[in-house]
Amino acid sequence: MSAPKISLQSETTAKSAGCASSTCGSSARPSDMEPAIWEKVKDHPCYSEEAHHYFARMHVAVAPACNIQCNYCNRKFDCANESRPGVVSEKLTPDQAVRKVIAVANEVPQLSVLGIAGPGDACFDWHKTKATFERIVNEIPDLKLCISTNGLALPDHVAELCDMNVDHVTITVNMVDPEVGARIYPWIFYKHRRYTGVEAARILHERQMLGLEMLTARGILTKINSVMIPGVNDEHLIEVNKWVKERGAFLHNIMPLISNREHGTHYGLTGQRGPKAMELKALQDRLDGGAKLMRHCRQCRADAVGLLGDDRGQEFTLGQISDEVTYDASRRDAYREVVARERGDRAVAKSEATELVKAAGSGKSLLVAVASKGGGRVNAHFGHAREFQVYEASPKGISLVGHRTVEQYCLGGWGEDATLKGVIAALEGIDVVLCAKIGDCPKAQLRGAGIRAMDDYGYEHIETAISTVYAAEFGAKPLAATA
Ligand code: SF4
Ligand code: SF4
């Protein structure tokens, strides 16, 4: 059977994928990353910011049981470590999970990672995690396997994770001082006993650090998630960053606390607030130079499917999947060939854009919100965006520094004023919005709020568009724009 015709455009609605022959073989590998590490992360949307433009992950909700209580979690909702609050649509048995993974792999060519992120703890509910992974390894051997855990049961399973070739693990570490931990964790359940207060936090801390050290010793890449809780651990996360860096963590991901009252969590009910977008960014900026930061996390659901920021989980509920599914690798294989060419072109565009911004020598920075459907391009309409990727252009270059989630402003061709107000509020602190298309009315309202919106660079590489705006703003001479 011949491979299906597939293009990045069909998956991300890009207008131009660039010259396929011009940069074949160009590497998107960052200059400071060893080739062996790049091989592990280059298709992982969470471990490589570059990969998240092209590749998708899916979570299967096979692990509902948990061995600790976090003050930001209500078990009726998704694991707040790895999800935005919302009930998991359906918990799965390992057999159901395997069926779902095959169905998604056949339909979503971007799929590269299978993760288990709850809705409880993947290491505590170990038998289901293990049974799922063992079957997937046989069915789709090239899928990367990934787990997320609170760390308490992690040291008991590191050897088995290693045996199953799980080479990406996330541990949620919110403290390294048990006094701080006692304000986050009311209890843990360990070795058939319930512990509370500082003693519980001390045990959790020791197990988390032990698990991290064991993973590092085995070459498993570890990402640390930390929930930023203003007034509880925000300043303390600087210390956490030092500890995890010293123990070999690959990435540190600081996530904002989500504590809506209606979610029924302890923090939600007691009025503990989460950080504002600019507070989160300020803390992340202070950590520059410590453990490398992940800035593109979307706090996904425990049953998320698709590119980060574009959840397609509702298309793959069990009722929509046939009882008999057989894996067909052709779409995924064809997609990878297209991405290999596209990311080479993008690497060249990014490097030119960085040079242009540095050449401006202005010393100023510009915060740019980009509407994108993926592929690393400015390719979403302002009114259709459900999130904006936020980039900072400065004398250091251009980097992704976060994202802002918004309610979709335009539905069925009509925009709601009240929704637009919410979008503008979510874009606080942004200088420029780049999108594929925007109407005169939202453009004028954004201008009124001090935000310039432009659709002149639709379908360009994101960095090319930003560097051109930066050059125009601060006086550098633009390099030739991509056609
Ligand atoms: S580890 Fe996850 S599931 Fe367990 S209490 Fe914390 S947030 Fe909830
Ligand atoms: S929650 Fe963050 S780290 Fe986990 S899959 Fe989503 S983007 Fe990746």
Task: Sheet containing 432-434: give its strands across.
Answer: 397-405, 387-394, 366-370, 432-434, 452-454
Distance 427 CA to ligand 1 centre (A): 30
Distances in Å between the Cα of 256 and the Cα atoms of 57, 82, 223, 253, 277 are: 21, 11, 16, 10, 8
Angle between helices 330-360 and 462-474 (to 10 degrees): 10
Can you give the pLDDT at residue 481? 41
For residue 465, is pLDDT > 60?
yes
Tokens of 7: 């293009």
Distances in Å between the Cα of 136 and the Cα atoms of 96, 118, 140, 174, 329 are: 12, 17, 6, 31, 14
- Dist. CA 424–CA 449, nearest whole Å: 7
Spatial CA neighbour of 105 closest among 262, 321, 265: 321
User: What atom of ligand 1 comes closest to residue 81's alpha carbon?
Assistant: 7
Q: Give the pLDDT mean for 92-113.
A: 95
Confidence of residue 25 (pLDDT cuts 50, 70, 90): very low
82, 83, 170, 223: residue to mutate for ligand 2 pocket, most atoms within 8 A of CB: 82
User: What atom of ligand 2 comes closest to residue 223's alpha carbon?
Assistant: 3
Confidence of residue 6 (pLDDT cuts 50, 70, 90): low
- DSSP class per residue in 240-295: HHHHHHHTT-SEEEEEE----GGGT-HHHHHTPPPPPHHHHHHHHHHTTTSSPBP-
For residue 340, is pLDDT > 90?
no
Q: Give the pLDDT mean for 15-27.
A: 38
For residue 468, is pLDDT > 70?
yes
Can you give the pLDDT at residue 480? 46
Can you give the pLDDT at residue 482? 37
For residue 85, is pLDDT > 70?
no
Q: Give the pLDDT mean for 95-113.
A: 96
- Alpha-carbon Rg for the chain in angstroms: 22
Q: Is 38 exposed, middle or buried (0-12, 13-18, 19+ CB in 10 A)?
A: middle
Residue pLDDT, tens place only, 145-196: 999 999 999 999 999 999 999 989 999 999 999 999 999 999 999 999 999 9
Q: Give the pLDDT mean for 301-330.
A: 88
Can you give the pLDDT at residue 7? 58
Least confident of 252-261, 336-345, 468-477: 468-477
Angle between helices 440-448 and 417-426 (to 10 degrees): 50
Can you give the pLDDT at residue 8? 59
For residue 76, is pLDDT > 90?
no
Q: Give the pLDDT mean for 208-237.
A: 97
User: What atom of ligand 2 comes closest to residue 83's alpha carbon?
Assistant: 1
In this structure, are residues 353 and 463 in contact, taking their beta carbons and an 8 Å threshold? yes
Ligand nearest to the CA of 74: 1
In this structure, are residues 137 and 175 in contact, taking their beta carbons and an 8 Å threshold? no
CA dihedral sign of residues 419, 305, 376, 412: negative
Cβ of 265 closer than 6 Å to ligand 1, yes or no, is no
User: What atom of ligand 1 comes closest to residue 66's alpha carbon?
Assistant: 4
SS (H, E, C) 190-231: ECCEEEEHHHHHHHHHHHHHHHHHHHHHCCCEEEEEEEECCC
13: helix, coil or strand? coil
Q: From atom 2 of ligand 2, which residue's Cα is the shortest distance away? A: 297
Residue labelled with tokens 């500082």? 198
Tokens of 84: 């935005």
For residue 102, is pLDDT > 90?
yes
- Dist. CA 312–CA 314, nearest whole Å: 6
Q: From atom 8 of ligand 2, which residue's Cα is the shortest distance away? A: 46
Q: Is cis: bond before 186, omega within 30 of 0?
A: no
Can you give the pLDDT at residue 477? 56
Spatial CA neighbour of 28 closest among 16, 39, 15, 12: 39
Residue pLDDT, tens place only, 26-66: 456 777 788 889 888 999 999 998 899 999 999 999 998 99
Spatial CA neighbour of 113 closest among 85, 136, 88, 81: 136
Cβ of 188 closer than 6 Å to ligand 1, yes or no, is no
Can you give the pLDDT at residue 401? 93
Distance 458 CA to ligand 1 centre (A): 41
Cβ of 171 closer than 6 Å to ligand 1, yes or no, is no
334 sits in which H/E element: helix 330-360
Q: Is 2 exposed, middle or buried (0-12, 13-18, 19+ CB in 10 A)?
A: exposed
Distances in Å between the Cα of 327 and the Cα atoms of 61, 318, 353, 460 are: 20, 17, 40, 35
Spatial CA neighbour of 352 closest among 472, 473, 465: 465
For residue 368, is pLDDT > 70?
yes
User: What atom of ligand 2 comes closest to residue 57's alpha carbon?
Assistant: 5
Q: Give the pLDDT mean for 9-35.
A: 52
Residue labelled with tokens 């069990």? 318
Tokens of 261: 């009252």
The pTM of this model reads: 0.85
Cβ of 431 closer than 6 Å to ligand 1, yes or no, is no
Ligand nearest to the CA of 186: 1
Tokens of 191: 């070795």
In this structure, are residues 455 and 439 in contact, taking their beta carbons and an 8 Å threshold? no
User: What atom of ligand 1 comes closest to residue 149's alpha carbon?
Assistant: 1
User: What atom of ligand 2 comes closest to residue 170's alpha carbon?
Assistant: 3
Spatial CA neighbour of 231 closest among 259, 260, 273, 264: 273
Neighbours of 448 (CB within 10 A): 9
Q: From atom 4 of ligand 2, which residue's Cα is the shortest distance away? A: 82
Can you give the pLDDT at residue 16? 37
Distance 297 CA to ligand 2 centre (A): 5
Distance 160 CA to ligand 2 centre (A): 23
Cβ of 85 closer than 6 Å to ligand 1, yes or no, is no
User: What atom of ligand 1 comes closest to residue 73's alpha carbon?
Assistant: 8
Cβ of 120 closer than 6 Å to ligand 1, yes or no, is yes
Tokens of 359: 């050449």
Confidence of residue 280 (pLDDT cuts 50, 70, 90): very high
Spatial CA neighbour of 149 closest among 123, 185, 188: 123
Cβ of 94 closer than 6 Å to ligand 1, yes or no, is no
Residue pLDDT, tens place only, 105-161: 999 999 999 999 878 999 999 999 999 999 999 999 999 999 999 999 999 999 999
Confidence of residue 456 (pLDDT cuts 50, 70, 90): very high
Distance 320 CA to ligand 2 centre (A): 25
Confidence of residue 371 (pLDDT cuts 50, 70, 90): very high
Contacts of 135 (CB under 8 A, 6+ apart): 94, 95, 98
Looking at residue 176, the DSSP 8-state letter turns out to be: S
